[in-house]
Amino acid sequence: MPFAPVAGSILLLGDSLTQKGIFVDDGGFAALLAQDYVRKADVINRGYSGYTTKWVLPLLNILPASADLVCICLGANDSVLTSNPHHVPLEEFEYNLRTIVEHFRPSQRRILITPPPVQPVRWISTRKTFPVPAIFRHIDATLVDRDVENTQKYADAVVKLGAALSVPVIDLWAVMHLDKLDELLSDGLHFSKAGNRIVYEEIKKLISAKWPEFVPENIPFPIPEFWDVNGDVLRNLRLPQ
C-alpha cells in the first residue's frame, strides 16, 4: 500500500497580510502553522501583496485545487478609498469574494478571515518610505487612503457572506481591539508578532472546534518515525510517483 508523504495540505489565500505570514522574524501565522503541521500537512502560502479580490479571480484556476483546508483573507486592499487605484466597490467585493469561496468545495474545510482594523495615519507615514509603483505616481503619497469605518464595512461583508454560505469566519474586529492596535499592527496595516499570534491562535481554535480530526496532534505521521523503521517498513514504503 503506497504511503503519501504528507496527510494533506493547507492553502492560505490572501494579500500581503498572508504573504508576510510566512516571515519567521515577524512570528508569521503561516510559519507557525507550518511548524505545527510539519510532515503532516503542507502549508501553501498564496498571499499576493497588493492584490484585491478582483485580481485574485483570474488566479483561481492555477491555485492548488485539492487543499484540505482553505483560509481566505482578502479585503484589506479592496477597502481603500476611491482615490486609490486598488479600490473595489463594496458590492463588487462581495460578489468577487463569494466567487472565490465557492470555487472551493465545502468538503475542503473553508475559513474566511476578515481584513483587520487599520490605523490610516500610521500607515501613511510608513507607506511614504516605500518605492512608488507606476500606478501610484499621480497620487499624493501623504494623503490618507484608508478609513476605519470603511474598512469595517468590508469586514462586515465577510462576516455576512460567511453566514450566508455556512463558512466559519474569523472576525478580526472582534479579537483585535482598537485600543491595542499599536501592539497588534507593525505599521498600521500589517500584523506585528502579537497580531500574527492572534490570527494563528484563532485558526487553531476554529480547527479544534469544527474539525478536530484535522488538529495536528490527531494526524499521525504518514511516514513512520525513524525508530519505527525496519526492513519490512522500508520494503513496503512506496511513495507516489
Residues annotated as part of the active site:
16
Q: Rounded to the nearest 10 degrees, what angle do helices 148-165 and 90-103 cross at?
A: 40
Residues 60, 103 contacting (CB under 8 angstroms): yes
Looking at residue 77, the DSSP 8-state letter turns out to be T
Residues 6 or more apart from 34 whose CB is under 8 A from it? 22, 43
Would you tell me how many other CB atoms lie within 10 Å of the CB of residue 6? 17
CA pair distance 115, 152, nearest whole angstrom = 8
CA pair distance 183, 122, nearest whole angstrom = 13
Residues 215, 208 contacting (CB under 8 angstroms): yes
CA pair distance 189, 16, nearest whole angstrom = 10
Query: Measured between alpha carbons, how far is residue 177 from residues 56, 163, 173, 195, 204 in Å?
Result: 29, 22, 7, 11, 20
CA pair distance 120, 125, nearest whole angstrom = 9
